[in-house]
Amino acid sequence: MHSVEFKTEIVGGIIKVPQEYKDLQNSYVSLTITIENDARQNPQNRLKDNIQTLDFSRCEVTCFEGINPVDYQRKIRDAK
């Protein structure tokens, strides 16, 4: 058994192992993590960790096709 130490970032739950330790690929290891600057102590960062990103870029909305949104809002507002 031997130990190695290096610094890296955890991105998306993935730890990248530097090339100099490529012999560790496909190995079973025991991992100890030391956090130098714990960003989780900041309440704003904890909130960001709980927010999921929704990507609507591939969504196509056709239900309001041909309707002017400003006219539609005026019609709804004036109906009340």
* Residue 60 predicted with pLDDT over 80: yes
Written as six digits, the tokens of 27 are 């190995």
Task: Please report the pLDDT score of residue 48 as a whole number.
Answer: 62
Rounded Cα distance between 70 and 61, Å, is 17
Share of the chain above pLDDT 90, in %: 0
Tell me, what's the pLDDT at 58?
84
Taking the domains of the chain in order of start, what are their residue ranges?
A: 10-79
Rg of the chain (C-alpha set): 25
Give pTM, 2 decimals: 0.40
| pLDDT over threshold 60, residue 40 | no
Q: How far is CA 44 from CA 40, 41, 47, 54, 60, in A?
A: 8, 9, 5, 20, 33
